């Protein structure tokens, strides 16, 4: 594959008078995971929702190329008041997928086959997030958006989720993810997009970004300074 | 599990079509609260059914409303007690004939303390005048019923235009009006049948009775099938014929509360007075 | 106090005697109110869910109308249905006036707005949580309504109970359209009204206690079910 799978063209989003994002122009290429980082309130989650199509841009547009299916995992997993299996079945049915074998496969992938028939909302936070991941993975998406998927999880659960994501990326699934955890970005990211105050400050391969950041903001952010 | 429960509920909610199969012979009688609440229908309708195979359903309302139900064609037979209104019903063409069935009488009820001092006299008109003069609390049905019409006739004969805080029109049936009178220690005109079967009397008792002007005549009419084609003319007429027949009249005469006869059949004879 | 004591004795006596007439009245009450609740649920629940999920022109107006209808006096509803079902009315040919079917219609009309409004309240909170996730999965409003109704089923049980309670406690409308005909359209509430008007207050109260016991029983059963199943919903 070549060329970007996603392109933002003059992308902006405002609520009333307040511009949350403005003038974003970038492409996201297939391959290793793209991480959107930046301080709280920089617009990471809004950008992800625009790219996924949950929000309509106020300015500009999002161009998708060659993306069949896409899925998103949220910081707080929203599971239906049903069993784990029924949760995944619901998503498959909405996508028009009849292949029930995908359910045990997805649960296997996230390491929860033993919980298949448990009420989803009574699982631990980490288990619920893995069920949410299984639900997304069962759709076999070409691109998977994740909005701070490990922000509320303990280290063990975080490690489990990261392992799942690494395997999915290795299989060729494009991952676009936000995080406020720089170490997580170092562990998983193929490229970094640094957002600050609704603008894209820097986009670079992860290695370049962490070794020799180009912008003053990126340097400050990596030092651990508070960006305002 | 939940689906199964819903299903069970649905089954429970829709069992066998609502009662009254198509073959069953059923008529609807629009009648008055006094006949229903005195228990008369409970006594005679099973006998009627036994003898004719027809089930009669009674909707009990004030006479005025009961006649309206007949006018709208919502009943097959009307069985009420306001002769003037019944004759108007016939004149309007909603029935072709009105027949006498039975009579009982009204009584003037009041508190034992009798503030208007009406007890002891049989003169109902004088009693009403005294109640008005004493401005003693009086509960009126106020619902265009036969009893209400009789009460208004008595006021008229007494030359009284009842109004003021002592005159309390409740717009309800005989029973609720009696309940109100019992609670307020008020005077009230009631039909004897309802009074006899009324349980919540408290301090109330009969103070005036026996005046011919308290006579209360019941009449029966088949709703005119020419006005309402769905009226069950044959079965409705069967009820009218039965209630004025010796069998029906005997059934009425045999209804007693505490040994006291409530209604006096008089289909054969003309009214004693009016 | 004496009267209340007598009423309890009456109630116990009524139940102990197993009077066929009483059981027929209870059975009819349950059947009419359950049928009415079922019909009202078929309309009120989806309508409430749609109002929770969808934003369409006229939605606010519909909400105002629904809330106003919740306060519709039963007697007024009864009168309107009376006029519609009367032989002289537009649906007179059906011959429904003074039948249990008319009472079902009256109760259903009275509680549909209640079910719809309560359903909207219950499901709006759930929709707030689900909306983004369901849209991400590609669910349209129609499908979302179904998902919400199913996932809210245990909370909606309470809504149904509220409707059933209101229906079975109703007296004004069923009296007008049912006619309180003995053995045919006499239900618990109209029987109570009748005994009250006959001045037999202990019997009226006794019937009232039986009615309350039934409603209590239904609620207790539903509560048990809800608790047993709350383990599922989380």
Query: Which strand (E) or helix (H) includes residue B50?
Result: helix B40-52
Q: Which residue has the tokens 């069953």?
A: B24
Q: Are the beta carbons of B200 and C200 separated by less than 8 Å?
A: yes
Chains B and A contact (Cβ–Cβ under 8 Å for 3 or more pairs): no
Which residues from chain B sit within 8 angstroms of residue C99, using beta carbons?
A: 18, 20
Does the beta-carbon distance from C234 to A95 stay under 8 Å?
no
pLDDT at B251: 96
Report the mean per-residue pLDDT for chain A: 94
Regarding chains C and A, contact by 3 or more CB pairs under 8 A is answered as yes
What pLDDT is stored for residue B270 in this prediction? 57
Q: Nearest by CB to A54, which of C135, C151, C234?
A: C135
Closest-approach residue (CA) in chain B for C175: B59
Among A111-115, A164-168, B234-238, C24-28, the range scoring the smallest mean pLDDT is C24-28
Give B219 to chain C, closest Cα distance, Å.
21
Contact C137 A54 (CB under 8 A): no
Does C197 contact chain B (CB < 8 Å)? yes
> In Å, how far from its chain's centre is CA C158?
12
C31 contacts chain B (CB < 8 A): yes
DSSP string, chain C: -HHHHHHHHHHHHHHHHT-HHHHHHHHHHHHHHHHHHHHHHHHHHHHHHHHHH---TTHHHHHHHHHHHHT--HHHHHHHHHHHHSTTSTTGGG--TTSHHHHHHHHHHHHHHHHHHHHHHHHHHHHHHHHHHHHHTT--HHHHHHHHHHHTHHHHHHHHHHHHHHHHH--HHHHHHHTT-TTTT--HHHHHHHHHHTT-HHHHHHHHHHHHHHHHHHHHHHHHHHHHHHHHH-
Helical (H) or strand (E) element with B109: strand B95-111
Smallest Cβ distance to A72: which of C136, C232, C234? Answer: C136
Buried b / exposed e along B175-187 (16+ C-beta atoms within 10 A): bbbbbbbbeebbb
Spatial separation of the C-alpha atoms in residues B191 and B38, rounded to whole Å: 9
Residue ranges per structural domain of chain B: 27-103+216-265, 105-214
Residue C95 to residue B228, Cβ atoms within 8 A: no
Q: Does the pLDDT value for residue A136 go beyond 50? A: yes
Contact B106, B223 (CB under 8 A): no
A59-64: strand order across its sheet: A18-28, A6-15, A59-64
- Look at residue A13 and give its three-state secondary structure: strand
Q: What is the 3-state secondary structure (H, E, C) of B21-32?
A: CCCCCEEEEEEE
Domain locations in chain A?
A: 79-139
- Provide the pLDDT for residue C210: 87
The confidence score (pLDDT) of residue A3 equals 66
Q: Does C107 touch chain B (CB under 8 A)?
A: no
For the cut 90, the answer to whether the pLDDT of residue C224 exceeds it is: no
pLDDT-derived band of residue C127, with 50, 70 and 90 as boundaries?
very high
- The whole-number pLDDT of residue B17 equals 45
Q: Which helix (H) or strand (E) holds B248?
A: helix B246-253
Task: Count interface pairs A-C at CB distance under 8 A.
Answer: 42
pLDDT in tens, chain B (274 residues): 455 555 555 555 554 444 444 468 999 999 998 888 888 999 999 999 999 999 999 999 989 999 999 999 999 999 999 999 999 999 999 999 999 999 999 999 999 999 999 998 899 999 999 999 999 999 999 988 899 999 999 999 999 999 999 999 998 888 899 999 999 999 999 999 889 889 899 999 999 999 999 999 999 999 999 999 999 999 999 999 999 999 999 999 999 988 989 999 999 875 554 4
Helices and strands per DSSP (H, E), number in chain A: 8, 9
Q: Taking CA atoms, what residue in B is nearest to C97?
A: B74
What's the length of chain B?
274
Write out the residue range of the structural domain in which residue C122 sits: 2-233
Cβ distance A81 to C147 less than 8 Å, yes or no, reads: no
- Using CA atoms, how far apart are residues A119 and A115, in angstroms rounded to an integer? 9
Place of tokens 């969808």: C54
Collapsing DSSP to helix, strand or coil, B187 comes out as: strand
Average pLDDT over residues A35-53: 95
Question: In the structure, what pLDDT confidence band is assigned to residue A225 with cuts at 50, 70 and 90?
Answer: confident
Tokens of B111: 């508190």
Q: What is the pLDDT of residue B6?
A: 53
Q: Which one-letter DSSP state was computed for residue A33?
A: P
Token readout for A172 is 């060729």
Residue of A80, A89, A118, A136 best to disrupt the C interface, most CBs of C under 10 A:
A80
Contact C184 B13 (CB under 8 A): no
What residues of A are in the C interface, CB distance below 8 Å? 49, 52, 54, 71-72, 74, 78, 80-82, 90-91, 94-95, 119-122
Question: How many CB pairs lie under 8 A apart between chains B and C?
Answer: 95
Q: State the DSSP string of A81-135.
A: SSBHHHHHHHHHHHTT---TTHHHHHHHHTT-GGGTTSBGGGS-HHHHHHHHHHH
- Look at residue B273 in the predicted model and tell me its pLDDT: 45
Q: How confident is the model at residue C1 (pLDDT cuts 50, 70, 90)?
A: low
Q: Which of C130, C137, C231 lies nearest to residue A119, judging by beta carbons?
A: C231
Q: Which residues contact A21 (CB under 8 A, 6 or more apart)?
A: A11, A12, A13, A43, A46, A47, A50, A198, A199
CATH class of B27-103+216-265: alpha beta
- B179/C197 Cβ within 8 A: yes
Q: Is A175 helix (H, G, I), strand (E, B) or coil?
A: strand
Position with higher pLDDT, C9 vs B254: B254
Cβ–Cβ gap B200/C181 under 8 Å: no
pLDDT of residue A1: 45
> Alpha carbon A210 to chain centroid distance?
20
- Which of C199, C202, C203, C233 has the most B C-beta neighbours within 10 Å, making it the best mutation to test the interface with B? C199
Show which of residues 93-152 on chain C sit within 8 Å of chain A, judged by CB atoms: 129-130, 132-133, 135-139, 143, 147, 151-152
What integer pLDDT is reported at residue B16 of this predicted model?
Answer: 45
pLDDT of residue C234: 54
* Contact between chains at B175 and C181 (C-beta distance less than 8 A): no
Residues with Cβ within 8 Å of B227's Cβ and at least 6 positions away in sequence, in order, are B73, B93, B94
Burial pattern B123-145, b for ≥16 Cβ within 10 A else e, equals ebbebbbbbbebebbbbbbbbbb
pLDDT digits (tens, 9 = 90+) for A187-212: 999 999 999 999 999 999 999 999 99
Cβ atoms of A115 and A127 within 8 Å: the answer is yes
What CATH number labels B105-214?
A: 3.40.190.10
| Position with higher pLDDT, A130 vs C226 | A130
A129: pLDDT strictly greater than 70: yes
* Rounded Cα gap, residues A120 and A132, in angstroms: 10
As a whole number, mean pLDDT of residues C71-81 equals 92
Cα B32 from chain centroid? 3
Query: How far is C-alpha C95 from the geometric centre of its chain's CA atoms?
Result: 24
State the CATH number of the domain containing residue C169: 1.10.3720.10
Closest-CA residue to A130 (of B254, A116, A35, C7) = A116
Q: Do A119 and C129 touch (CB under 8 A)?
A: no
> Taking CB atoms and an 8 Å cutoff, what residues of chain B touch C204?
none
pLDDT tens sequence across A138-162: 999 999 999 999 999 999 999 999 9
Is C38 in contact with B9 (Cβ distance < 8 A)? yes
């Amino acid at each position: 594959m070549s060329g970007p799978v996603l392109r933002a063209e003059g992308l902006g989003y405002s609520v009333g008078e307040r511009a949350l994002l403005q003038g974003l122009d970038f492409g996201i290429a297939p391959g290793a995971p793209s991480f959107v980082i930046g301080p709280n309130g920089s617009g990471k989650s809004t950008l992800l929702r625009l790219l996924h199509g949950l929000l309509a841009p106020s300015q500009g547009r999002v161009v998708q190329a060659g993306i069949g299916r896409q899925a998103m995992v949220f910081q707080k997993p929203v599971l239906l008041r049903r069993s784990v299996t029924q949760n995944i079945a619901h998503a498959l049915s909405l996508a028009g997928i009849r292949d029930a074998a995908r359910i045990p496969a997805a649960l296997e992938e996230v390491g929860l086959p033993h919980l298949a028939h448990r009420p989803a909302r009574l699982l631990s936070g980490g288990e619920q997030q893995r069920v949410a991941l299984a639900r997304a993975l069962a759709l076999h998406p070409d691109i998977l958006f994740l909005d701070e998927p490990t922000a509320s999880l303990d280290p063990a659960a975080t490690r489990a989720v990261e392992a799942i994501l690494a395997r999915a990326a290795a299989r060729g699934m494009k991952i676009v993810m936000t995080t406020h955890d720089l170490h997580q970005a170092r562990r998983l990211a193929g490229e970094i997009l640094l957002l600050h105050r609704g603008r894209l400050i820097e986009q670079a391969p992860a290695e370049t970004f962490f070794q020799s950041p180009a912008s003053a903001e990126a340097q400050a952010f990596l030092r651990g300074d508070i960006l305002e | 599990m939940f689906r199964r429960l819903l299903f069970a509920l649905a089954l429970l909610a829709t069992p066998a079509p609502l009662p009254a199969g198509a073959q069953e012979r059923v008529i609807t009688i629009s009648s008055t609260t006094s006949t229903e609440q005195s228990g008369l229908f409970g006594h005679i309708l099973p006998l009627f059914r036994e003898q004719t195979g027809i089930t009669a359903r009674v909707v009990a309302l004030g006479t005025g409303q009961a006649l309206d139900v007949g006018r709208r064609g919502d009943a097959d037979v009307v069985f009420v007690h306001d002769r003037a209104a019944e004759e108007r019903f016939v004149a309007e063409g909603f029935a072709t004939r009105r027949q006498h069935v039975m009579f009982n009488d009204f009584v003037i009820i009041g508190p034992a303390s009798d503030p208007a001092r009406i007890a002891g006299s049989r003169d109902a008109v004088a009693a009403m005048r005294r109640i008005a003069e004493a401005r003693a609390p009086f509960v009126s049905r106020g619902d265009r019923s036969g009893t209400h019409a009789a009460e208004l006739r008595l006021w008229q004969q007494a030359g009284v235009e009842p109004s003021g805080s002592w005159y309390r029109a409740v717009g309800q049936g005989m029973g609720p009006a009696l309940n109100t009178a019992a609670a307020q220690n008020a005077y009230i005109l009631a039909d004897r049948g309802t009074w006899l079967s009324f349980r919540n009397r408290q301090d109330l008792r009969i103070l005036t009775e026996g005046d011919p002007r308290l006579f209360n005549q019941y009449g029966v009419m088949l709703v005119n099938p020419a006005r309402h084609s769905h009226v069950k003319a044959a079965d409705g007429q069967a009820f009218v014929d039965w209630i004025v027949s010796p069998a029906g009249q005997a059934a009425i005469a045999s209804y007693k509360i505490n040994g006291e006869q409530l209604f006096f059949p008089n289909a054969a004879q003309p009214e004693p007075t009016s | 106090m004496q009267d209340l004591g007598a009423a309890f004795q009456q109630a116990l006596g009524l139940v102990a005697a197993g009077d066929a007439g009483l059981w027929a009245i209870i059975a009819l009450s349950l059947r009419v109110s359950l049928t009415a609740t079922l019909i009202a649920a078929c309309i009120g629940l989806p309508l409430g869910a749609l109002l929770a999920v969808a934003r369409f022109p006229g939605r606010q107006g519909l909400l105002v109308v629904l809330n106003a209808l919740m306060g519709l006096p039963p007697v007024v509803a009864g009168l309107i249905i009376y006029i519609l079902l009367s032989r002289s009315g537009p649906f007179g040919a059906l011959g429904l006036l003074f039948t249990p079917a008319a009472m079902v219609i009256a109760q259903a009309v009275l509680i549909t707005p209640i079910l719809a409004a309560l359903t909207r309240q219950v499901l709006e909170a759930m929709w707030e949580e689900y909306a983004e996730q369901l849209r991400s999965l590609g669910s349209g409003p129609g499908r979302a309504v179904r998902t919400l109704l199913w996932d809210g089923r245990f909370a909606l049980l309470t809504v149904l109970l509220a409707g059933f309670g209101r229906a079975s406690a109703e007296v004004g409308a069923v009296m007008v359209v049912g006619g309180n005909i003995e053995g045919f359209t006499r239900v618990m509430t109209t029987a109570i009204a009748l005994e009250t008007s006959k001045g037999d207050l202990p019997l009226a109260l006794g019937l009232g206690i039986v009615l309350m016991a039934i409603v209590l029983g239904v609620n207790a059963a539903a509560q048990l079910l809800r608790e047993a199943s709350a383990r599922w919903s989380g």
